[in-house]
Structure formats: structure tokens, C-alpha cells
Amino acid sequence: NAGVTQTPKFQVLKTGQSMTLQCAQDMNHNSMYWYRQDPGMGLRLIYYSASEGTTDKGEVPNGYNVSRLNKREFSLRLESAAPSQTSVYFCASSEAGRTETQYFGPGTRLLVL
């Protein structure tokens, strides 16, 4: 099993450009999450999807949209990137009702100039 995979591994954008971060898991998990990690801030939840077909806002959703394409895939879109969105983005998944046991992807490092 590959676990949780994320693409791309890194990306450089100019302010105003758009991009989609992809995440896929092969563990048949119902729940998926997107976090951002910033120095001195820990991980902050952007959006999560408790199950296929549902998405909910987390702590810092502004400037992002998500799509739960199917049970395996959960994408994060930046419509108009801003320098404040420079961060490392982590996708995670867990079984339904087992939020504590989240499996994390390797992260996508994003720089917005």
C-alpha cells in the first residue's frame, strides 16, 4: 500500500495564479483532511471531509476550496494564490470516527511570490 500520496511535492507560484493540490489514499478511509503547517504555528486544519460527498470548513478555510472527488481522492484548490499561502500542505486520512489515528502524506511545499 502506498498510504497517502500527494502531488506535487513542491510548487512555486506567482501571486494570483491558481493551482490544485492532489491527495489520494489507498487505505479505504472514509475521512480525509487538509492541513497547512507554518513555522511557530503548528498544523492548522483547512478543510476536512468526514465521508465521500461531504466537506466542512476547518480552522483556516479562507482562500481555499476542496473537492472530495471519490472515496480515494481529496483535492485542495487555490483560486488566486497569495504570499500568505506560502506553506507546507499536508493531506491526511483516517477511518470513520477515528480522527486520532490520521495517516499523513509527505507534504507539498508551496511558495507564492
Partner 1 sequence: GEDVEQSLFLSVREGDSSVINCTYTDSSSTYLYWYKQEPGAGLQLLTYIFSNMDMKQDQRLTVLLNKKDKHLSLRIADTQTGDSAIYFCAEILGGATNKLIFGTGTLLAVQP
Whichever of 81 and 89 has its CB closer to partner 1, that residue is 89
Looking at the Cβ atoms of 40 and 53, the one nearer to partner 1 is 40
- CA-closest candidate to residue 111, choices 4, 41, 26, 8: 8
Kindly state the number of chain residues that form the binding site for partner 1, as judged by CB under 8 A: 22
Question: Between residues 17 and 86, which has the closer beta carbon with respect to partner 1?
Answer: 86
Dihedral pair phi/psi, residue 5, rounded to 5°: -115, 145
Among 4, 32, 78, 112, interactor with partner 1 by CB under 8 A: 4
Return the C-alpha cell found at 2: 502506498
Binding residue (CB under 8 A) for partner 1 from 11, 17, 22, 44: 44
- Binding interface with partner 1 (CB under 8 A): 4, 40-45, 48, 56, 58, 90, 92, 97, 99-107
